[in-house]
Structure 1
């Protein structure tokens, strides 16, 4: 029998010190590069976006791909890009150690894409930390607040 899956994920991670580094002049380069890593891993990405200090990825993960390794590969590859394009990404200390991953029913794909597209507007009233806590609570994920941004 062939393998048939539908794993729709929202993946979220940010800069180690949570300071702004994604801007209008570098976001297309960074988001496009991350999309390329996803394609290379046979994952179908729907959108890569975010705001000044973190990234959201909406993707279908290929069944042969381990989520933790995918995140590791995305962070490593994008870090190399950021170092190479230093003039566009000044003072980048690296990505935070962890990440958040949430699964969704495929029927929510369009609303997730809109959510990521509207990140800049969303973060005019909600901080990254507040957003992450909301997502964790919506998905019944146990967490300790003191470890969220380590």
Structure 2
């Protein structure tokens, strides 16, 4: 019997609305587990997740029956509700609209996983804006500045 065989790896990047630093060290590990649970419950595989107080990166192994935009929408909606119920903030936790999604080959996975795991170290040298624009340039993604994330200078 014929089957469907695939190998799809996607790194997803998105930021907290207004680039507020609302992902505290005490919250991040539990938030990453929560997001990993959503990814797993949708039948996908989390390979790496990490971030900064104002944005996250994660790498998934994705099946072809998954609609990436639906998965990201579910992650954002569920985590907005979860964080706001867990941590009362003066500022309501919410993700910014939009996201970056970048595909990789099997041979690149170790490097991408290492990159994601070293986010805090990486951002000592480079801003999120610089990093994100480098992704867009490297992957040759046409874009307009006004449609990128809100930037804090």
Please give the secondary structure, in 2, of the residue aligned with 1:50: strand
Structure-to-structure mapping, 1:1-150, within 5 angstroms: 1-87=2-88, 91-149=91-149
Q: Which ranges in structure 1 are unaligned for 5 or more consecutive residues?
A: none
What is the alpha-carbon root mean square deviation over aligned residues? 1.2
TM (norm. structure 2) is: 0.93
Are the counterparts in 1 of residues 80 and 93 from structure 2 also a CA contact under 8 Å?
A: no
Consecutive aligned runs of 4 or more in structure 1 exceeding 4 Å deviation: none
**C-alpha displacement of 1:100:** 0.5
Matched residues in 1 for 2:38 and 2:138: separation? 28
**C-alpha displacement of 1:11:** 0.3
TM (norm. structure 1) is: 0.94
Matched residues in 1 for 2:136 and 2:113: separation? 18
Kindly tell me the number of residue pairs found equivalent between the two proteins.
149
Deviations 1:34-74 (A, max 9, x none): 00000001101101111110010100112111010010011
Q: Which ranges in structure 2 are unaligned for 5 or more consecutive residues?
A: none
**C-alpha displacement of 1:130:** 0.9
**C-alpha displacement of 1:90:** 5.4
Deviations 1:11-48 (A, max 9, x none): 00011101211121110011110000000011011011
Cα gap change, 1:90 to 1:37, in 2 (>3 Å) = farther
Matched residues in 2 for 1:90 and 1:112: separation? 35
Matched residues in 2 for 1:90 and 1:131: separation? 29
Please give the secondary structure, in 1, of the residue aligned with 2:22: coil
Deviations 1:94-148 (A, max 9, x none): 1111000000001111111110111001111211111100001000000111210
